[in-house]
Amino acid sequence: PWGFRMAGGKDFGVPLVIQRVNPGSLSSQCGLQEGDTIVQIGGVSSSSLTHREAQDLILSLGNSLELKLER
């Protein structure tokens, strides 16, 4: 629903990163870029999250998603 795909996570041994941003999506309009590292999801540090935990957290936030990113 947000228009991005992420890769990585604790289970892969690499940080969560934005892998793809769909053109024209909310994520694209908000300035997300491929390669951005996700530092926090909804105020929760992403460093200890598995890929699935990150996906579940994003879904649990409903219609309001706040990401802290490093570029």
- Closest C-alpha among 15, 13, 10 to residue 67: 15
Total domain count, the chain: 1
Q: Contact at 8 Å (CB) between 7 and 19? A: yes
Query: Tens digits of per-residue pLDDT, 45-71?
Result: 999 999 999 999 999 999 999 999 999
pTM: 0.92
Domain CATH number, residue 57: 2.30.42.10
> Which domain range does residue 58 map to?
4-70
Query: Tens digits of per-residue pLDDT, 5-43?
Result: 999 999 999 999 999 999 999 999 999 999 999 999 999
